[in-house]
Structure 1
């Protein structure tokens, strides 16, 4: 079966943490389909063809500095790659903390991601998915969102809405691609910190949303990719998270490439860097 369900809302009405405004979603039809001011979070479903056994599943969180979502570059292109190789993929268009349509800004994106992981598990039989093989991959600020779920999967970020919310929100594995991680070190991505936490967040909030400080033995196995010459989100973000994982004896694999900069997606024009997605595919087979 080959199925795609475009723009499937992840919430029933009313959407949690939403207030009525005149704000409208903005979509720029440039190559990466850049989306801002998301009003209704949705998931786009990419199911592999001709599969009889239950497949693994990956929820994809595109980046965008918590200001927007690079929906195609770091979303649908990755989903189609995985779909062709027999992995179910789900591209999440999550709400953003910079929107004036939300009340608790720092919680809105993680609420949407928790709900999506639960939704995938709740529909495992329908979509022929192994409910114990549900992972999350995030790019840039989407990597921070993914890492936040990895370390805070047991935190209740919203009140249960229906039977879907009885499912676990813990991913079986996570992948972080040139991720924003720290909110407190000298190599933080200032734009993501400001967009997520505001101009003057308190220390407790900064620490809570700095995943490298929150790793436990219960953090899922992690796969990390970064380029050494990333000037936007320094490679130290990945290094400190990897060190925290190893310190807690969490299974982790990391690939640091010498060149690639930031926001390379599948890096199809770079023969060496473009192999990262193959390494990720091989890695999830071992999980």
Structure 2
């Protein structure tokens, strides 16, 4: 019995060493573009964990064991139409999976534009995303990360945010700055999973658009938040995955972004599957789309060079 106890203790300790996580706020005090009001974050845990009304944006950092860490890190933006965050389904589950590959996985709990506490809702998700990238680079040495190997992964509306960060990482607002804000917010690579891309094309996801820029946005806002219109030669290399039968966010979103990347001479890898629908995450039990993660791992290795 004693031998069994120590065996189980060793296994438990090894598991704990493999994946360590901690949560840190993105901002000190009240975040920028936010009023101090009595609002509480809402967490609903049913089939998945859904978070809404985020008031304190955070990074949830998952560190693999030092012995297998390869220097890469991935910031993860869960989807949810800019109204909720599918926090485990498209967030922490993937951070833990990345850990098994020696990659630091970091889930971003970003603020959502429908909160009445925000003073300029359309700017807030990108502002949080920029801050998240800079904070990772600021803490890179402590977390065993190569600051030149930090990418983003976004799902659905989180994919829209990841693509917006990839194309507007240097977008600047007239706000107080600190030493963290002096660092680059440009991702070194981008992974977009059934992403919302366009707000002006016929494939636009109206729910995400309305949540972020309102019911009757100007043409300038439609163009600014349509990722395919903002790609240039400095946009990071990108991995795209989408299902042809996606009824939530049409596959044309990924096609538009891929075409723009190709025109700009940016390396891109696109993986399309005939079935899988929308929100398949790991793709378990969804047929051939289950294989997309293996394709991603192969591609991520090319980003280590």
Question: In the alignment, which residue of structure 1 is the partner of 2:298?
Answer: 282
Question: In the alignment, which residue of structure 1 is the partner of 2:56?
Answer: 40
1: distance between equivalents of 2:221 and 2:210?
12
Question: In the alignment, which residue of structure 2 is the partner of 1:16?
Answer: 32
Residue number among 140, 143, 158 corresponding to 2:159 in the alignment: 143
Question: Cα 1:93–1:253, aligned 2, differ >3 Å: closer, same or farther?
Answer: same
Question: Cα 1:232–1:158, aligned 2, differ >3 Å: closer, same or farther?
Answer: farther
Question: Cα 1:30–1:212, aligned 2, differ >3 Å: closer, same or farther?
Answer: same
Task: Note the C-alpha offset of 1:53.
Answer: 6.1
2: distance between equivalents of 1:135 and 1:40?
23
Using structure 1 for the length normalisation, give the TM-score. Answer: 0.96
Residue number among 82, 93, 118 corresponding to 1:66 in the alignment: 82
Structure 1: any 5+ residue segments left out of the alignment? Answer: none
Structure 2: any 5+ residue segments left out of the alignment? Answer: 1-16
Question: How many residues are paired up?
Answer: 287
Of residues 166-175 and 150-159 in structure 1, the stretch that sits farther from structure 2 once superposed is: 150-159
Pairing 1:226–2:226 present:
no
Pairing 1:127–2:162 present:
no
Describe the superposition over 1:119-165 as per-residue Cα deviations: whole angstroms up to 9, x where unpaired.
00111110000110000000000000000011111111463532111
- 3-state SS of paired residue (1:272): helix
Using structure 2 for the length normalisation, give the TM-score. Answer: 0.91
1: distance between equivalents of 2:46 and 2:69?
38
Give the structure with the higher percent helix.
2
2: distance between equivalents of 1:82 and 1:146?
17
2: distance between equivalents of 1:258 and 1:175?
20
2: distance between equivalents of 1:3 and 1:18?
33
Describe the superposition over 1:20-50 as per-residue Cα deviations: whole angstroms up to 9, x where unpaired.
2232211101232000100100111111114
Q: Which has the larger radius of gyration?
A: 2
Work out whether residues 110 and 157 of structure 1, in 8 Å CA contact, stay in contact via their aligned partners in 2.
Answer: no
2: distance between equivalents of 1:138 and 1:28?
21
RMSD: 1.4
Question: In the alignment, which residue of structure 2 is the partner of 1:185?
Answer: 201
Question: In the alignment, which residue of structure 2 is the partner of 1:273?
Answer: 289
Work out whether residues 179 and 233 of structure 1, in 8 Å CA contact, stay in contact via their aligned partners in 2.
Answer: yes
